[in-house]
Amino acid sequence: MSVLTSNRAHFFSTSRTHPGAWWLAGLALSLSASLSSNLVALIAISAGAMFIVRLCRDNAPWSRSIRFYLFLGAIVVLLRVIFRVIFNLADATQDVFLTLPSISIDLGIGNSLHLLGSVSFLSIQAALVDGFRLAAIILSIGMANSLANPRKLLRATPGALYEIATAVSIAINLAPQLIASLKQVRRARGLRGHSKGIKALTGIIIPVLEDTIEQSMQLAASMSARGFGRKGNRTHLQLLLTRVSTFLTLTLLTVGVAMLLFSPVQQHVDLMVILAGLVFSAITLKLSSTRTTRTKYIVQRWQLADLFIVISSALILLAAFSGVFSK
Amino acid sequence: MNKLISRISVGVAGLASLLIFTWPLFISTGEQNETLLAQTVFIVLMPLVLILVLIEFATGDISSKHLALLGVLIALNAVIRLLGAGTAGIETAFFLIILGAFVFGSGFGFILGACSILVSALLTGGIGPWLPFQMMGAALVGLGAGLIPRSKRAWLQKVYLVGYAVFASFSYGGLLTMWNWPYLAGTGTQLSYVAGDAIIANLSRFIQYEIVTGGLVWDMGRAITTSMLILLTGTALIATLKRAAIRAGVGREL
Amino acid sequence: MIEIKNLSFSYLNAEGKQKSENPQLNRVNLKIEAGEFVLVCGPTGSGKSTFLQTLNGLAPNFTGGVITGELLINGVDLLGAEPHEFSHLIGYVNQQPEGAFVADLVLDEIVYSAEQLAISKEQIAKDVQRLSRLLGLEDMLDSPLATLSGGQQQRVAIAAALIAGAKVLLLDEPTSALDLQGATEVLTLLQKLAKEEGVSILLAEHRISRVIGSVDSVIVVHGDGLVTKGKPAEQFNDTRFAPPIIELGQKLGWNPLPISTRQAEQLWERAPAAFEPKTINQPSGIVCEVIDLEVTFGLVSAVKKTNLRLFGNQITALMGENGSGKTSLCWAIQGSGTRTSGGVKTSAGDPKSLSVQERLAVTTMVPQRAADLLFLNSLADELHESDTFAKVPAGTTANLFQKLTGRIDTSIHPRDLSAGQQLSLVLALQLVKDAPVLILDEPTRGLDYAAKRALANQLDLLRDEKRSVLLATHDIEFVAMVADRVLVLKEGLIIQDSSPLEVLGHGSELASQVAEVTNEPGLITIGQILK
């Protein structure tokens, strides 16, 4: 919490911005990357994500994870190129870049594979684009993950996901206790004998499970005694409406996906259906959010900085859709 | 009525998620921009479908007992996964998802599967574009486990559970490899998907990809560890969970 | 405030039928006034918790069972309502606050029930301010719950229970996990809440002596269905759970019974009784020798260089505050715990260097959470497993267990045994290994006075030429009953090694209640007093 009160917290500091804004930005960047086939644009997105993290992160444990994403991105690019060199689809183009001895193997399924062989410049370039695309997606998500406080995000989940968020936050709070409990039980097992081998697993997992179940019932009792389960004035009709809306949403999305895959493109009818599905998702979320009445005492408000983040990432996404990042 | 609509919705969502997982087999257009567009749409749709189904299951009258039990099992799963991680092919999260879903039902299993992966990612920092896909995979494993038939004969029950564990391990592995296939193999290699090609041709390339990248070995490891864990601890764990269910007065309503 | 009429409650048996022949609560009639501070007590397993839980719907909703009668809260009958229907009327705090926390930050935890009841933000803000001032939580509203001490956590739990406007507070053994200071802190606050805020408080507690002085009345849950309410001094005719000073009063026929040390002191001064000297058993030969043992965890030194000899036919108590290194020392001697340097000598060698099986034949131990050792689905299975492991004839463990507790149906699930029975079971499982060194870590935690006396008798039965018992505890009265020798540990060092008469006698920091009351040299436990 000292982070929150620190004077060094600047305009875009993660302690002041809404975690949802960073996740929207991360999603927008990764979608832009996903749509792009331009090596320069992809590298720019990756570098941009890294730069934003450097600029905005606080000294929180989750901020350091960006290194992991960078490492992963590099591995992906490397793998992609190596894969391309080994399993290159032989085509007799002129710009052969590298000629390696060719090996044939048969896996007993499909065509036999011709490994290595001649590698063209274009194919390496294509591999780099593919690799950097995935790396840019990973780094964009990594950016969001490094800048958004996961607990704050959990608290900002919409009302429709309240129960799920509760289960998840119970689990997160419980995990350290469970690790301690596992260690304790494992040590105690040594006092009974049979501490080695796979048979010991039951001897460890059963006491831990018994303890935690007992604990969970205490927790449930505490939640109930403190008002969990009070229903708002939701009517049967409202519930039915929510169910029907969910059904329509999922059907629209499924039909949209099927059209996207199976039918040849006709003026993007498929996208229209999916877009309708997205609109319905919003309605469904709204409907299920209103089914119970609760106060949200601590609300993280959207600041000017958040608005700025969301708008600029929306612009980037729009540019990506209009093909600016394509070749 | 409510229940029926709910079940159909979940079925439709299952279909949608399978399509999204296996799109390289089915995509008919060969144009690169169109493929990229589809791929991008899927990145958004998978988490959306997941969230919709989670809400659908939680929208019933989920009790504080169910929620607390879920919290505990998710935490246990995440911790066990944490301890089992790092050893190739050992997947320690599945057996508890399967057993939990078997005792408490499909809806419980779906939430348990999805959230176990989420929480372990939150604890280890493994959040990435793959997360919604992993969550959906594990959620489907839980969903299916709720449908495992019950038998009074202990040996037969074990056969059912282990049979499902093997099936689920390979399916989960297959679906997730299918997801990373277009990303890691890209296009233009002998192992890449070819948009618009016959399904059989794409499928055989996919299997080659699975073999070459060692995915099958990984799946085998997952199937073996899950089956072993179910055989060793299944009876005791089911008894403990059932006892908890009886004492707490919760059943398979979810 | 609360009025109960003809309230009966029974659990269901395994077949789901009502156990009508012995209801847990039978036709209870009583009233609780606004601002009344009530102690709820009774022997372990008598149903103190159940009684509290019937008042806010947790029983039968969370326990199963059947409830009948009337439960009037502010004149409205709420019998059979779900717990959440009570949350604006009755607050509930249970034994381990950390197990019942829903949030991770103090403020989030406090406002939880107000949020559930959709109370307006302005009202919540007001209540948070009032309660946090009252309970001294103002400085820690933004802190993570995990960083708070036990006493602070319990205060947060109390604030959280009252935030939705409840005027009744149910507390189920709220101080059992706290040290003396934390417990005092919580009790003082409860008194303040009752006096200043008019909150009715029902406090279930088995360490009666801690609270008896502060309460207005006492409810006794007798265990046979009977529940009575009355003034503190009138309520203790049942010795099964009476604290030492009351037991002393009963033994000497004092009337009215003393409820504070002061009263007891005066009564004793007026008519002191004769007592016999405490029997201290003569130790036989050395069974185990600890040489230069040290335990460090990272930078923290838990046990500093320690030398110690344990003898046969001797019960040695290891006392000291929380964190003084008792548990680390126990595990290090047993051989499976961490050791930094030094060793332990026994007839079979150093337990650390032995295999698990061999080690357990030399040093066995009952850990703090005894139930951690139980993992099978029935008592019979546990007993059988133990016989097989110790390679003794079938039924040996069962006989031992029966000797300790009496006959018990072996088809029962081990987790359904009472805390005392679970402890006896684990004790039997460990005794059957016939090791010369038996270590018990905090065995009396969660036991009432009757169960403690039973354990003391059991330990007496275990005295043997070749066996040495090491008992880590901070239960002074229990040590006064059983120990032949007392070690006091402070910051990892043994600072005292002497007879219990010296360590627990009058004027010592660790004086037993009897020693304090009687002020007689050589008298430390009630068992010594002649009628």
Q: What is the mean pLDDT of chain A?
A: 78
Cβ-Cβ contacts under 8 Å, A218 against chain C: 94-96, 99-100
Minimum Cα–Cα distance from C55: chain A residue: A225
* Spatial separation of the C-alpha atoms in residues C436 and C235, rounded to whole Å: 44
Cβ-Cβ contacts under 8 Å, B239 against chain C: 377
A111 lies within 8 A of chain B by CB: yes
Better-predicted residue by pLDDT, A41 or C16: A41
C107 lies within 8 A of chain A by CB: yes
* Spatial separation of the C-alpha atoms in residues B48 and B51, rounded to whole Å: 5
Scan residues 228-257 of C and list those with Cβ closer than 8 Å to A: none
Compute CA distances B215 → A14, B225, C82, C247, whole Å. Answer: 38, 15, 51, 72
Scan residues 43-102 of A and list those with Cβ closer than 8 Å to B: 62, 65, 68-69, 72, 76, 79-80, 83-84, 87-89
Asked if A202's CB is within 8 angstroms of B233's CB, the reply is yes
Q: Which of B65, B236, B247 sits opposite C377 (nearest CB)?
A: B236
**What are the residue ranges of helices labelled H in C26-120?**
48-54, 58-61, 97-100, 106-116
pLDDT given for residue C332 in this prediction: 92
Compute CA distances B249 → B239, B253, C50, C55, C65, whole Å. Answer: 15, 11, 16, 20, 10
Asked if A34's CB is within 8 angstroms of B39's CB, the reply is yes
A1 lies within 8 A of chain C by CB: yes
How confident is the model over A1-21, as a mean pLDDT? 57
Torsion over CA: B169, B174, B179, B184 (sign): positive
* Spatial separation of the C-alpha atoms in residues A51 and A56, rounded to whole Å: 9
Residues A269-304: tens digit of each pLDDT = 888 888 888 899 888 888 887 766 777 777 777 778
Q: In this structure, what token pair is assigned to residue C72?
A: 């009037």
DSSP state for residue C41 in the 8-state scheme? E
Helix (H, G, I), strand (E, B) or coil at C471: strand
* Spatial separation of the C-alpha atoms in residues B237 and A202, rounded to whole Å: 8
Instruction: Kindly report the nearest CA distance between residue C474 and chain A, in angstroms.
Output: 21
Chains with 3+ CB–CB pairs under 8 A to B are A, C
Q: Which residues contact C435 (CB under 8 A, 6 or more apart)?
A: C360, C361, C362, C363, C364
Q: Using the predicted structure, report yes or no on whether residue A325 has a pLDDT greater than 70.
A: no
CB C216 within 8 A of CB C135: no
At C497, is the pLDDT very low, low, confident or very high (cuts 50, 70, 90)?
very high
Q: What is the mean pLDDT of chain B?
A: 84
Domain edges within chain B: 2-248
Q: Which of A138, A249, A258 sits opposite B129 (nearest CB)?
A: A138
Asked if B65's CB is within 8 angstroms of C413's CB, the reply is no
Q: Which of A1, A196, A224 sits opposite C143 (nearest CB)?
A: A1
Cβ-Cβ contacts under 8 Å, A182 against chain C: none
Better-predicted residue by pLDDT, B61 or A17: A17
pLDDT given for residue C39 in this prediction: 92
Scan residues 193-222 of A and list those with Cβ closer than 8 Å to C: 193-196, 202-204, 206-207, 210-211, 215, 217-222
Cβ-Cβ contacts under 8 Å, C375 against chain A: 202-204, 206-207
How confident is the model over B178-182, as a mean pLDDT? 86
Domain edges within chain A: 2-156+303-321, 165-226, 234-296
ipTM of this model? 0.88
Which homologous superfamily is C286-518 in?
P-loop containing nucleotide triphosphate hydrolases (3.40.50.300)
* Spatial separation of the C-alpha atoms in residues C55 and C3, rounded to whole Å: 10
Q: Using the predicted structure, report yes or no on whether residue A106 has a pLDDT greater than 80.
A: no
Q: Rg of chain A over CA atoms, in angstroms?
A: 26
pLDDT given for residue A1 in this prediction: 33
Interface test with B, best of A174, A184, A290 (most B CBs within 10 A): A174
User: Under CATH, which architecture does the C2-235 domain have?
Assistant: 3-Layer(aba) Sandwich (3.40)
Cβ-Cβ contacts under 8 Å, C375 against chain B: 236
Instruction: Kindly report the nearest CA distance between residue A1 and chain C, in angstroms.
Output: 7
At C49, is the pLDDT very low, low, confident or very high (cuts 50, 70, 90)?
confident
Asked if C334's CB is within 8 angstroms of A227's CB, the reply is no
Q: Which of B63, B68, B76 sits opposite A178 (nearest CB)?
A: B76
Give residue for tokens 């016989």: C387
Chains with 3+ CB–CB pairs under 8 A to C are A, B
Cβ-Cβ contacts under 8 Å, B72 against chain A: 170-171, 174, 212-213, 215-216
CB A136 within 8 A of CB A45: yes
* Spatial separation of the C-alpha atoms in residues A230 and A249, rounded to whole Å: 28
Minimum Cα–Cα distance from B240: chain C residue: C377
Asked if C371's CB is within 8 angstroms of A295's CB, the reply is no
Asked if B29's CB is within 8 angstroms of A145's CB, the reply is no
pLDDT given for residue C438 in this prediction: 92
Q: Using the predicted structure, report yes or no on whether residue A232 has a pLDDT greater than 70.
A: no
pLDDT given for residue A47 in this prediction: 87
The answer regarding whether domain B2-248 maps to CATH 3.90.76.10 reads no
Q: In this structure, what token pair is assigned to residue C461?
A: 């039965």
Q: Which of B236, B240, B247 sits opposite C64 (nearest CB)?
A: B247
Minimum Cα–Cα distance from C366: chain A residue: A191
CA C86 remoteness from chain centre? 28
A126 lies within 8 A of chain B by CB: yes
Residues B7-59: tens digit of each pLDDT = 888 899 999 999 899 888 888 776 777 788 888 888 889 999 999 999 888 87
Residues C155-200: tens digit of each pLDDT = 999 999 999 888 999 998 887 777 777 788 888 899 989 988 899 9
Cβ-Cβ contacts under 8 Å, C376 against chain B: 236
CB C494 within 8 A of CB C475: no
Q: Using the predicted structure, report yes or no on whether residue B199 has a pLDDT greater than 90.
A: no
How confident is the model over A36-42, as a mean pLDDT? 84
pLDDT given for residue C484 in this prediction: 92
Chains A–B, number of C-beta pairs less than 8 Å apart: 291
Q: Which residues contact C475 (CB under 8 A, 6 or more apart)?
A: C444, C452
For residue C256, whether the previous peptide bond is cis, meaning omega lies within 30 degrees of 0, is: yes
Asked if C115's CB is within 8 angstroms of A230's CB, the reply is no
Closest CA to A274 of A251, A294, A296: A251
How confident is the model over C84-90, as a mean pLDDT? 89
Give residue for tokens 């301690």: A180
pLDDT given for residue A4 in this prediction: 39
Chains with 3+ CB–CB pairs under 8 A to A are B, C
Instruction: Kindly report the nearest CA distance between residue B52 and chain C, in angstroms.
Output: 23
How confident is the model over B89-103, as a mean pLDDT? 84
Scan residues 53-92 of C and list those with Cβ closer than 8 Å to A: 53, 56-58, 61-62, 82-88, 90-92
pLDDT given for residue A158 in this prediction: 77
Chains B–C, number of C-beta pairs less than 8 Å apart: 11
Asked if A168's CB is within 8 angstroms of B115's CB, the reply is yes
Better-predicted residue by pLDDT, A87 or C45: A87
Domain edges within chain C: 2-235, 286-518
Q: How many CA atoms lie within 13 A of C473 on its CB side?
A: 26
Compute CA distances C515 → B229, C316, C317, C500, C520, whole Å. Answer: 57, 20, 18, 11, 6
Tell me the DSSP string of C482-513.
H-SEEEEEETTEEEEEE-HHHHHSTTSTT--H
Residues of B with CB under 8 A from a CB of C: 65, 236, 239-240, 243, 247-249
Q: Rg of chain B over CA atoms, in angstroms?
A: 19
